[in-house]
Amino acid sequence: MNTNRRDFIKTTAVTAGMMGIGSIASACAAPAAAPKPELKLSFQESTPPGSNLNEKFDYMEKMGIVGFEPGGNGLAGRVNDIQQALRGRKIKVSAICAGFSGWLIAEDEAKRRECMETSKEIMAAGGELGSTGMILVPGFNGQQPSLQMPQAREVLIEQLKELGDFAVKHNTTLILEPLNRSEAWFLRLVADAAAIARDTETPGITCLGDFWHMTREEISDYGAFMSGGKYLRHIHIASRERRKMPGEDGAADNYVDGFRALKELNYQYYVSFECGTAGNREETVPAAVKLLREQWKKA
Ligand code: MG
């Protein structure tokens, strides 16, 4: 974001507050009683070294990683194992990464139904694990034939209402993830995901901001996260040119502006690694963690 735009948003917020119609910040921020935001880092299962969950969790605990993001595929059969491995640890399940089949904007109703049913099974398991939510992409470019706008959005929202109510019953949410255009034209902006979540009128639908996809699609990290506002439930992070560990792409890997938005939003959830590495994991993972903590302090 350039300085002019940042100043414009600040000025607009102040003016709106003075006019008694509520500021942008107060419209977006979590309730005042929420604790001060801190950088809660999370790893997907493939991020830490280790040959089993216990080895991976031992490694994560040594580094102060407090979130774990397992894949959703087969999750119902793993609930016990994951609960056992987490027992007595500070690590919690941050989010569940996809794992469903079918897709919600399919022309074929059977494919939409398949997505609903498999997503519910994963959300029920995620709820048992205390997950903040299950990540879902409404439709990838390769999933065809898909419905077109505006019907696609209307059909999606009807299904999300049902999924959102199901999520609430299971103490979790469904997290919509915008991707970049090479993967999914249908949903590319955090603001669009948040607007869809709003239109479902259920607290069970939330959204995600992924720095990797945002690099290509968003005007600014700050603006993107602010546009997610109270619907923002999870963050994915990677290096910004090759989707490796943060820091592996050098100066391009600057997350300060996005972190500043998370602080202003009083964001209470996780920032989760979704990336590979071009180097030695034993070196690149700790270096990435160190970099992100430094940048969080600067934000
Ligand atoms: Mg992602």
**Residue 30 pLDDT:** 53
**Residue 207 CB partners (closer than 8 Å, separation 6+):** 175, 176, 177, 178, 190, 193, 194, 196, 197, 228, 231, 232, 233
Instruction: Pull the structure tokens for residue 78.
Output: 């793993």
pTM of the model: 0.88
**Residue 13 pLDDT:** 44
Residue 232 contacts residue 265 (beta carbons within 8 Å): yes
**Residue 35 pLDDT:** 80
pLDDT tens, the chain, 299 aa long: 444 444 444 444 444 444 444 444 444 455 556 688 999 999 999 999 999 999 999 999 999 999 999 999 999 999 999 999 999 999 999 999 999 999 999 999 999 999 999 999 999 999 999 999 999 999 999 999 999 999 999 999 999 999 999 999 999 999 999 999 999 999 999 999 999 999 999 999 999 999 999 999 999 999 999 999 999 999 999 999 999 999 999 999 999 999 999 999 999 999 999 999 999 999 999 999 999 999 999 99
Q: What's the CA-to-centroid distance between 275 and ligand 1, angstroms?
A: 9
Look up the domain containing 78 and give its range. Answer: 37-298
149 falls within a domain: yes
188 falls within a domain: yes
**Residue 22 pLDDT:** 41
Give the neighbor-by-neighbor strand order of the sheet with 232-237: 92-93, 67-69, 40-44, 270-273, 232-237, 205-210, 174-176, 134-136, 96-97
Q: What's the CA-to-centroid distance between 210 and ligand 1, angstroms?
A: 5
For ligand 1, an ion, list residues with CB under 5 A.
210, 236, 274
Q: What's the CA-to-centroid distance between 177 and ligand 1, angstroms?
A: 7
In terms of Cβ atoms closer than 10 Å to its own Cβ (0-12, 13-18, 19+), residue 144 is: exposed
145 falls within a domain: yes
CATH number at residue 102: 3.20.20.150
Tell me the C-alpha distance between 295 and 37, whole Å: 14
Total domain count for the chain? Answer: 1
274 falls within a domain: yes
28 falls within a domain: no
Q: What's the CA-to-centroid distance between 14 and ligand 1, angstroms?
A: 33
Tell me the C-alpha distance between 163 and 167, whole Å: 6
Tell me the C-alpha distance between 214 and 261, whole Å: 14
6 falls within a domain: no
